[in-house]
Amino acid sequence: MSDFVIEARNVTKTYELGEVPVHVLKGVDVQIKRGEFVSITGPSGSGKTTLLDVLSGLLRPTRGEILIDGKKISEMDDNALAHVRGKTIGFVFQSFHLINRLTALENVMLPLWFQGISEEERREIAARTLISVGLGDRLHHRPTELSGGQRQRVAIARALATDPDVIVADEPTGNLDSQSGATILNMIDELNKKEGKTILMVTHERYVAERAERIIHIKDGLIQSSEKVRKTKEKAKGDYK
């Protein structure tokens, strides 16, 4: 088994907008160790979300290789890629991406359906996972009946339902107030420290990025630096800022 759960080797991503190619990633090499907490940061338009999407298999690179769990996903068909992604990675997005007509329980059950798990077991796993994120009293509420922080906790529960090795979070506190944001970041910290989940998080906020062990800086589609984070006592206590 590889020491790295995700690897990128000389990855490029180019979009064709009319006759003009837009080079978003320009030869990127990244290695994410198992159990590591890594933040990706950079200015708007730097390519950080595209990098996150390519690393997690949501987007295919134009050139180069992406390996997840040592498997070259660039060589897989869509079904095989979806299977690897579904087993290995849980996704948390800034805009939650919950289905409003479904309850919190049903939203968390959804990824389990794709794995062919029985309805009874899906319901049991979803309820247990929602309880673990403090939403045991909100199982049958729909997203429109929940606060922003509660909706993000549903999204985290959905990401955790399949027990993935990696949690990928794209601006997970971007739509939240400071108190809710602190709760979500503390929850992500615990997933890393207590449960050993690998965390890969995009943020444009320095104080959020510093919750990680390592910060990857990207600018103009190129990795500018990869730096270890020195933890202060305040950050160790889980302060939001």
DSSP 232: P
**Of 33, 58, 59, 48, residue with least CA distance to 208:** 48
Q: How many CB atoms neighbour CB 67 within 10 A?
A: 18
The predicted pLDDT at position 4 comes to: 92
Asked whether residue 241 is assigned to any structural domain, the reply reads no
pLDDT of residue 230: 73
Per-residue pLDDT of the chain (241 residues; tens, 9 = 90+): 678 999 999 999 999 888 889 999 999 999 999 999 999 999 999 999 999 999 999 999 999 999 998 889 878 899 888 888 888 999 999 889 999 999 999 999 999 988 889 999 999 999 999 999 999 999 999 999 999 999 999 999 999 999 999 999 999 998 899 999 999 999 999 999 999 999 999 999 999 999 999 999 999 999 999 999 876 544 444 454 4
CATH of the domain at 96: 3.40.50.300
Spatial contact of 210 and 240, defined as CB atoms under 8 Å apart: no
Domain limits for position 21:
4-236
Q: Can you read off the two tokens belonging to residue 25?
A: 């990633």
Q: Answer yes or no: is 212 within a domain.
A: yes
Number of domains in the chain: 1
User: Do residues 149 and 137 lie in contact, with contact meaning Cβ atoms separated by under 8 Å?
Assistant: no
DSSP code string of 32-44: EETT-EEEEE-ST
